[in-house]
Structure 1
């Protein structure tokens, strides 16, 4: 179980890891919310889940001592606090969950610059989805997603910066729409 948790942590951070510089151009963030729900009316939340799926048959990444799951939770907690929604143990308005998927064997068609021919190339991909669930009804009232290319090797500092960017942008999209006040 400890090995799985360590691997899960590595996957979360490596989800958004770039090659050698901190670039966020490839990170695509989208959000959706229920137009009938006033998210400004929510003031408390509780964590209801986290899950991940990894496709890495060649074990290209090695586990590190980084607590990636904890860092993702921290970033989401921070963004909710910025919007006056605070974590509680009981009777929360919202439930928070996230899902991470990483595919180290993802393939993509690319143009070879030397021959100008189209070739199939390995381009590892990752995605992070964050859901806010109304605890009274059980319905998802907000969903944020980020997808990106990821590096074939893990660099903790770059991964942290890219995760911070993606999660901040998810919740910024909400505030820019005036959903949270």
Structure 2
């Protein structure tokens, strides 16, 4: 379980360490909410866990030197606090879980600059998904996701900026009622 956690954190770090002109321009954010839920009624949560997946058959990916899961949890805690939702283990109204994944063999259509034709290229990608679950019913009421490119040899500062951006933008999609 510890190795899965480490792999997940490492994967997320790579996701958020893409090399774009802007630190965050390649990160895409999406979210889906249960339209019947009253999000303003939720005031407490507890952590359910985190899950990671890695698709790197060639063993190319190099894990970062920072604890991604710890950083992500900190950022999620911060965003939930901003919404007036606090971490209480007993009688929590929400359960929070996040999923990280890295796919070093992800494919994308790119335009060949020589002939302007589309070609399929390998573009390593990563994603972070955060889910909020109603503790009473067990139903997922909201999922937010950040997807981005992976860049090798990114700095810790750049990775932290990308994580901060991703989590902040994900939670901007959480309904306020």
| TM-score of the pair, normalised by structure 1 | 0.88
What is residue 116 of structure 2 aligned with on the other side?
116
Say whether residues 1:56 and 2:56 are aligned partners.
Answer: yes
Q: Aligned ranges for residues 36-51 of structure 1 at < 5 Å? A: 36-51=36-51
- Which has the larger displacement, 60-69 or 33-42? 60-69
* Residues 118 and 37 of structure 1, relative CA distance in 2, 3 Å threshold: closer
**3-state SS in 2 of match to 1:101:** strand
Deviates more, 1:122-131 or 1:14-23: 14-23
Q: Map Cα deviations across residues 119-166 of structure 1 (whole Å, 9 max, x no partner).
A: 321101111111100000101111111111221444322121111111
CA–CA separation in structure 2 for the residues paired with 1:67 and 1:22: 23
Query: Contact conserved, 2:19 with 2:149, CA < 8 A, in 1?
Result: no
Distance 1:23 1:124 in 2: 16
Query: Counterpart of 1:178?
Result: 176
**TM-score of the superposed pair, with normalisation by structure 2:** 0.90
For residues 78 and 137 of structure 1, what CA distance do their matches in structure 2 show?
25
Q: Tell me the equivalent position of 1:26.
A: 26
| Cα RMSD for the two superposed structures | 1.9
Quote the residue 1:135 is aligned against: 135
Matched, 1:151 2:170: no
Partner of 2:10: 10
2:75 maps to: 75
C-alpha separation in 2, matches of 1:153 and 1:119: 26
Q: CA deviation at 1:45?
A: 0.4
